[in-house]
Amino acid sequence: MKDTTRHQGKRRQLVQILKDKGITNSLVLKAIGKIPRHFFMDSSFEHHAYQDKAFPIAADQTISQPYTVAFQSELLEIEKGHNVLEIGTGSGYQTAVLCELGGKVYSIERQQELYKKTKLFLTKLGYRPRYLSFGDGYKGLPEYAPFDSIIVTAGAPYVPKPLLAQLKIGGKLVIPVGDDPQIMHRYIRTSATSFEKKEYGEFRFVPLLEDKN
């Protein structure tokens, strides 16, 4: 795996594309400018790694589109040291972005093949998420709750109650909800029993499936 000047140049162009599409958070842009996305993809797609598109990874899943990664990351408003939970580790690219933003990152993946592969790979790249879990994201990770931020990177038919319950007061859940396409939602927990909800337009994700595989 090599990160050549050509790759770096293409990455700078990708960052510009994201800025043109409205991403403003400089830490998010910096993370995307730093992480070699082509390392997270199959070698057959490597040449396309810096296009603003989703691509297939193992187990019939996808690495999210960079704009989607940036948009969700921006909505989370992560601060250094925040407890962050990701549902859908997949390739680990979004996990790496969350680590670059300074989060203490927990991530759940339901496909064993991806879980094993990505766990080894992130370590190899030098990323140190707090905990990678092979399990069902619908349940969250109650043993590590509460979280400042929870990000769901697969399309959810509904908002899983355990995820709302595992937010701190002031914590944020960013989740695409619905069938194809999904509507991006952000929930902010305003008290023990209340949440503020806002919608952020259409996105397309692979489905959030129940149980592990």
Torsion of CA 199, 69, 121, 62, to 10 degrees: 80
69 vs 167, which CB is nearer to ligand SAH? Answer: 69
Single out the segment in contact with ligand SAH by CB under 6 A; choices: 43-51, 76-84, 105-113, 178-186: 105-113
Q: Which of 109, 141, 150, 167 binds ligand SAH (CB under 6 A)?
A: 109
Residue in 26, 43, 44, 64 annotated catalytic = 64
User: ∠ CA 124-111-126 to the nearest 5 degrees?
Assistant: 15
The mark string for 26-65 relative to ligand SAH (x by CB under 6 A, - otherwise) is -----------------------------------xxxx-
Q: Does 114 bind ligand SAH (CB under 6 A)?
A: yes
* Contact by Cβ (8 Å): 58, 45: no
* Contact by Cβ (8 Å): 69, 97: yes
Q: Which of 49, 150, 154, 167 binds ligand SAH (CB under 6 A)?
A: 154
Residues 192-211 contacting ligand SAH, CB under 6 A: 206, 208-209
Cβ at position 63, least distance to ligand SAH in Å: 4
* Beta bridge partners of residue 108, listed in sequence order: 87, 133
108 vs 175, which CB is nearer to ligand SAH? Answer: 108
Tell me, yes or no, if 73 is annotated catalytic. Answer: no
Contacts of 3 (CB under 8 A, 6+ apart): 36, 38, 39
The Cα–Cα gap between 28 and 18 comes to: 10
Single out the segment in contact with ligand SAH by CB under 6 A; choices: 16-24, 134-142, 176-184, 190-198: 134-142
- The residue among 209, 206, 200 whose CA lies nearest residue 70 is 200
Q: Does 150 bind ligand SAH (CB under 6 A)?
A: no
Q: Could you give the C-alpha distances from 91 to 19, 34, 57, 204, in angstroms and in order? A: 24, 17, 7, 17
N- to C-terminal Cα distance for the chain?
A: 29
The Cα–Cα gap between 24 and 189 comes to: 24
Q: Does 71 bind ligand SAH (CB under 6 A)?
A: no
Q: Does 183 bind ligand SAH (CB under 6 A)?
A: no
Please give the positions annotated as active site: 64
Site for ligand SAH, rule CB under 6 A? 61-64, 87-88, 90-91, 93-94, 108-111, 114, 136-138, 153-154, 206, 208-209
